[in-house]
Structure 1
Amino acid sequence: MLSTLVGAVDEESHDGEKQLSDTELADEALTFFLGGMETTAINLAWALHLLATHPDGQHRLQVETDDVLPGGKLDPAHPPSLGLAA
C-alpha cells in the first residue's frame, strides 16, 4: 500500500507538485491504519453486544467452541468446523 501511495500522482495539484509530500504520505497511511482498526473494533463491539443480549446464542456458541476446540486450543483445521463462530 505504501509503495502505491509513494508512486501516486495528484493530477489536480495546483502548486505543480504532482507527488504526495512526506506529510501527505504519513497522513494517508495513518488514515488507512486507523480506518482498519476502527471498523474491526466496531464489528467486535457489535458481536459482543449481540452475544450479551442473546443468551441462547451465547450458550450455543460456547457449547460449539467447547466441542470443536478442546482445551481452548485453536489449530488451522478448526475454523471450518465452527459453524456458528464462522
Structure 2
Amino acid sequence: MLGLSMDKILMLAVVAGLLLGPETLPKAAHYLGVGLRKLRAFADESTTRLRSEAGPTIDEVDWRKLDPRQYDPRRIIREALLDDADPPVAKPDRGL
C-alpha cells in the first residue's frame, strides 16, 4: 500500500488528529472515505472501459516485460554490442 506500514499510518492518524482537532476530524475522515470510494470507482470504471475498448488482446500483453523497473542500461548496451559483433573467425593452423 504505497510503502506505508502500520506504524506510518498510525503516525499519520495521530498527526491528523492533533492538527484537525476532535471537532473537524470526523468530517475530514468522512471526506477522505468519500474521496477514496470515488477514486476506486473511477479506477474500476477505467479498467472496465480499457478492457472493452482494447478487446481480448489486452490480456495477451506481457506487462512484466514492459515494467520500467526492469530497465538496466548496462544490460541493454551489453546486449546491443554483443548482438552487432561478428563471431570470431578461427584461423587455420599452418603448422609452423
Please give the TM-score of this superposition, normalised by the length of structure 1.
Answer: 0.47
Q: Give the structure with the higher percent helix.
A: 2
Determine which structure has more spread, i.e. the larger CA radius of gyration.
2
Which has the bigger relative contact order, CA under 8 A and spacing at least 6?
1
